[in-house]
Chain A
Amino acid sequence: MNKIEMILFALLISLFPLNGYAEQSVEDVLIRLEEKMSDIKTLQTGFVQEKKLAIFDRKIILKGKIFLKKPNLFAWHTEEPTLYSMIIRDDVILQWDEDIDQIQKVSMKDNPAFQTVVGQMRKWLSGIYMSLLEEYSVIILGQTPVSLKFVPRENTMAYNIISHVRIVFREDERYIQEIYIKEKTGDSTLLRFTDTLLNIPVDAAAWEVKPRAR
């Protein structure tokens, strides 16, 4: 084996893993992930969210819990820095926070801005990523664990707002490990999930919005 042949051989060897990646198209990966996440009936998970927004004078770290029950229940409870609860049942939002200390009922139909925010949140947490292909182009960043980068397509609502979204999945690919959203303004959000439990009966209290004390 001469020098040129050795270089060619080395190149060939080094290409094998890449070929392995290329065999798995984005669609294949998304379908696989959707299939693994499709049997999720309930979800409860802790989260830590780091927000770096220009509107705030510091990085805001939010801690709390998310509950999800298919098909129509979603709960977002935060413990730090403020106590806040939000339950979404179909198009109705019930919320409470310790500052105002009042339970508010909001229809998403009457609040398009909030509707958009909730829509985005549901989109990233639901695991139905195939449908996102119409709004985003997807790049596979890594396979173990699976890491995907979503870049908004032109003419979509996200295009003017979001630079990209990066999602890292758990090793078993049954749920998300972290979501990173980078905005075009430079603002960013990093959401990490901890102690995720799947298909465990959710305590009824999780779907209640009521005043809480620290």
Chain B
Amino acid sequence: MLDKRKRLISVLAAVIIVFAAIGLRFVSFDNNIELMLPANQEILRSMRFLRESNISDKVILSLKLKSPEHTTHDLIQAVEKLEKSLNPPLITEVISGVSKSDLMQEMHSFLKYVPQLLNEQDLSKIAKQITNEGVKTSLSRDYRQLLTPGSGFVTPFIQSDPLGIKTGFLSNIQKLSGSLGYKVQIKDGHFISRNGRNAMLILKTLVRLTDGFGSKKLVAYLHKQLESLPEFISSDIIAGHIHTISNEDVIKRDIRLTLIIASVAFLLLFLFIFRDIRAILIFLIPLISVLVSINLSAIVLGKLSYFIIGMGAVIAGIAVDYGIHVYLAVRTGAGRSDAVKKIIKPVIIAALTTISVFAAFFFSSVQGYHQLAFFSILSIILCLICALFVLPRLLSGKHYEKLPAMLKQGSSMRSQVFDRACVACWGVIIIAAIVLLRQVEFNSDISQLDGSKPEVIQTEQEFHNVWGGADRPAILVVSGENLEEALQLNERIYTEAVNEVGLSSFAELWLSNKTRTANSARWNKFWREGREAKLKELLLEHGQAYHFSDDAFSPFFRHLYTEEIIENIPEGLTFFDRLKERFILKKADEYQVLSFFPDKDKYVKALSAVSSRYPNTFLVSRNAFSYMLSKAISSEVIFLSGIAGLLILILTCLLLRNIRLTALALVPVITGITLILGIMSVIGLSLNAPCVIAAIIVIGLCIDYGIFMVYTCAYNLKTGTRMAVSLSALTTVIGAGALLFAMHPVLFSIGITLVIGVTGGYVSALLVIPSLHRLTHPDPLLKREGKGFPFSVKRRG
């Protein structure tokens, strides 16, 4: 009958494992970093802006001539061939340069709008030029330029603008075009590097950065097309999509590797120590629990973050503790399943303290933490149920041999000298760690959480060496219900901010309809007030000295008065379309006009002050983002630590019902956290958000060790608790230690924090708590044996 039940349970477990493993294939994973960010309005807005704007979704191809025998001309031919091969649906547009001949013509065409763009101050300056001296100066300059050998290029500009009124706009076009940030020159209409050895193509795609599947398809397509390049040309793809794929690959590899390392280590540990094939069951319980939890979490929560799933090994390391306690109880109870009853309460309470820590994450505003809490609590509950109700049935009925010697309860009676030395050493270590922790830094740079492979980063570095553009500017975003409203607000802010910050603003080139209409009326009035006639007269008079013909400047007068005011922005000018793409974003229900500026603290602060006065504006700055993130995470950490600390304190107090013992139980917590901060500082690692999560988990684990050890000391128990705590810590360190082999920085940060914290907490629980207990209370609570012991564990022997 018993065998039948065991067989049934085994078959059921096998079926669950198979289904859970199959279910993994259907679980949607998400590596979106936003999940791990606090729900701070400003942070989310910046992230949303970057995600929804087309700034980050572009793909850049950088082609390089490998052989010195080939010329730029060969490179351009290859670019043209490649350009033709890149097609929809994955590539919607290819920009490989701009025709310089068109650019000159387009610039000339654009200059007809200049009268609409000049304000009252500009007209005052022009008025000062319509004098004998002013005209003479202008004509002299024009004359000099016309006498140089390459004058053909400036003749049309001079004829249509003898006073050089529009020259400023040519520099503005140049400045704004250059604000793309790349060091390019145009050769035969193509983007070529300064040394003539590299070409650049900018590709537009509808594939979003966060779309892992789409990114893979896109990159595979590009690699295939790049295969057709001649042998003398090498190519690099620069795109956020590469990071998406690389991160996904790295995380998947890490999860696989850490699970294998942890599994092998668990198996060897149990088989070596327990020398019993059934010890595998201890290992299988957390594995099944984690697998089932992933499936259930996916059903409840939808997409799961890879970062959270990466915690699977850690959760397994934590959840395996319950199986260890049950196994040891069954073995010490000579194979009787009812022996488990004695440890049900302490195991449940240990699980509750751990659950309380994870439950604290539900109070966080970080969506990813909610997933972590749900997934971890579910895993722990499943593991607890299996450990308490399934494992004893599978272990019962067998006669167990005595445990190996190393598992036997060690003596808790030590000399006072040893206790004092132990406590003194602990004190020195804690003081040293406290001194060191002042140097620890919190690193809020989001890019540190990018786990892309080194070759991806190196390729980007080489790209920036050739093309520049490594210093990404900060962005001021101005929104409006329609383009006109957004442009009007953009102008107001530009006027206010331009003197403080070197803004690269669309307002330097184009204005709202309202402003242009007013400017145009003012311009026409300006010339009709007799200035047209006066300028004609002065040009004729002083032009003679320079041998200008009578009709030299007739193009200027022919188009003097402004034509129809266009509603929005000029169409059909390629250079303008490119600038529009960079500076104007059309959203579903609004327009955004962007301005770019150097991402320096002083400028960000100055523009933040301006932006705060206009509700429809915000800044997107890496520096500001880091600052906001740091602030938000700090408050999040304080809040979560507070809740976790409070929950643990309440549970510990309720369990121990003694202030002194509660204080002793907190020793591993204090040790673990202090050592994390101190050692991180010594080994030169900075704290980050994943570290903080791991540190909070350390609190939950260490308090368990504290509680068990305090009870062992206080009641001089011989229930294998010391062994159980040791194995619990060891399994957790194995689970977390496996993460030290992870390439992804997030998983590595969690691993290192857990290993330091749990090791420190465990050692202090094992050595310091007994010593402190004996020193502070030499007469153990033996006399009170059985009284007030909520676990109902009786002293043995």
Which residue of B has the minimal Cβ distance to A188? B152
B153 at the interface (CB under 8 A from A): yes
Q: At the interface with chain B, which of A1-9, A11-19, A178-186? A: A178-186
Give the CA-CA distance A183 to B73 in the complex, in Å.
Answer: 25
Give the CA-CA distance A200 to B762 in the complex, in Å.
Answer: 83
Assuming the contacts A57-B547, A134-B72, A134-B187, asked whether A120 and B150 have C-beta atoms less than 8 A apart, the reply is: yes
Measured CB to CB, the closest approach of chain A to B330, in angstroms, equals 82
A70 at the interface (CB under 8 A from B): no
Q: At the interface with chain B, which of A38-46, A158-166, A204-212? A: A158-166
Q: Which of A99, A134, A161 contacts B73 (CB 8 A)?
A: A134
A126 at the interface (CB under 8 A from B): no
A73 at the interface (CB under 8 A from B): no
Residues of chain B in range 121-145 having any CB-CB distance to chain A below 8 Å: 136-137, 140, 143-145
Measured CB to CB, the closest approach of chain A to B198, in angstroms, equals 15
Residues of chain A in range 116-170 having any CB-CB distance to chain B below 8 Å: 116-121, 124, 131, 133-135, 153-162
Q: Which of A62, A157, A162 contacts B100 (CB 8 A)?
A: A157
Give the CA-CA distance A55 to B554 in the complex, in Å.
Answer: 10
The answer to whether B150 and A118 have CB atoms under 8 Å apart is: yes
The answer to whether A51 and B151 have CB atoms under 8 Å apart is: yes
The answer to whether B167 and A113 have CB atoms under 8 Å apart is: yes
B550 at the interface (CB under 8 A from A): yes
Could you give, for residues 144-180 of chain B, a 1 whenever the CB lies within 8 Å of some chain A CB and a 0 otherwise? Answer: 1111111111110111000000010011011000000
B458 at the interface (CB under 8 A from A): no
The answer to whether A121 and B148 have CB atoms under 8 Å apart is: yes
Q: How many residues of B contact A (CB 8 A)?
A: 45
Inside 8 A of B143's CB, which chain A residues have their CB? Answer: 82
Inside 8 A of A57's CB, which chain B residues have their CB? Answer: 547-550
Give the CA-CA distance A104 to B338 in the complex, in Å.
Answer: 100
Residues of chain A in range 25-81 having any CB-CB distance to chain B below 8 Å: 49, 51, 53-58, 60, 62, 76, 78
A213 at the interface (CB under 8 A from B): no
Q: Which of B71, B149, B154, B186 contacts A113 (CB 8 A)?
A: B154
Q: Chain A's interface: helix, strand, loop or mixed, by majority?
A: mixed
A191 at the interface (CB under 8 A from B): yes
B604 at the interface (CB under 8 A from A): no
The answer to whether B103 and A162 have CB atoms under 8 Å apart is: no
The answer to whether A51 and B104 have CB atoms under 8 Å apart is: no
A114 at the interface (CB under 8 A from B): yes
Measured CB to CB, the closest approach of chain B to A153, in angstroms, equals 7
B645 at the interface (CB under 8 A from A): no
Q: Which of A78, A86, A131, A187 contacts B152 (CB 8 A)?
A: A187
Residues of chain A in range 65-112 having any CB-CB distance to chain B below 8 Å: 76, 78, 82, 84, 86, 95, 97, 99-100, 109-112
Which residue of B has the minimal Cβ distance to A62? B147
Inside 8 A of A185's CB, which chain B residues have their CB? Answer: 152, 155
The answer to whether B547 and A117 have CB atoms under 8 Å apart is: no
Assuming the contacts A117-B151, A162-B152, asked whether A134 and B76 have C-beta atoms less than 8 A apart, the reply is: yes
The answer to whether B167 and A111 have CB atoms under 8 Å apart is: yes
B188 at the interface (CB under 8 A from A): yes
Which residue of A has the minimal Cβ distance to B105? A160
Give the CA-CA distance A117 to B152 in the complex, in Å.
Answer: 8
Inside 8 A of B174's CB, which chain A residues have their CB? Answer: 109, 112
Give the CA-CA distance A51 to B547 in the complex, in Å.
Answer: 12
The answer to whether A116 and B101 have CB atoms under 8 Å apart is: no
Inside 8 A of B104's CB, which chain A residues have their CB? Answer: 157, 160-161
Residue of B136, B154, B186 with most partner-chain A CB within 10 A: B154
Give the bracket for the number of chain A residues in contact with chain B.
35 or more
A189 at the interface (CB under 8 A from B): yes
B47 at the interface (CB under 8 A from A): no
The answer to whether A189 and B151 have CB atoms under 8 Å apart is: yes
The answer to whether A112 and B171 have CB atoms under 8 Å apart is: yes
Give the CA-CA distance A154 to B189 in the complex, in Å.
Answer: 9
Residue of B147, B548, B549 with most partner-chain A CB within 10 A: B147
Assuming the contacts A97-B140, A97-B144, A155-B189, asked whether A56 and B547 have C-beta atoms less than 8 A apart, the reply is: yes
Inside 8 A of B547's CB, which chain A residues have their CB? Answer: 56-58, 60
The answer to whether A135 and B188 have CB atoms under 8 Å apart is: yes
Assuming the contacts A97-B140, A181-B149, A189-B149, asked whether A55 and B100 have C-beta atoms less than 8 A apart, the reply is: no
Which residue of A has the minimal Cβ distance to B104? A157
Which residue of B has the minimal Cβ distance to A181? B149
B552 at the interface (CB under 8 A from A): yes
The answer to whether B152 and A55 have CB atoms under 8 Å apart is: no
B119 at the interface (CB under 8 A from A): no
Assuming the contacts A133-B73, A160-B104, asked whether A53 and B188 have C-beta atoms less than 8 A apart, the reply is: no
Residue of A84, A160, A189 with most partner-chain B CB within 10 A: A160
Which residue of B has the minimal Cβ distance to A159? B101
Measured CB to CB, the closest approach of chain B to A188, in angstroms, equals 9
The answer to whether B149 and A179 have CB atoms under 8 Å apart is: yes
B235 at the interface (CB under 8 A from A): no
What are some 16 contacts across the A-B interface (CB < 8 A)? A57-B547, A95-B144, A100-B137, A112-B173, A116-B154, A117-B150, A117-B151, A117-B153, A134-B187, A135-B187, A135-B188, A155-B100, A156-B189, A181-B152, A183-B152, A187-B151
**7 closest pairs, A vs B, by CB?**
A120-B150, A157-B100, A57-B549, A183-B152, A155-B189, A117-B150, A99-B140
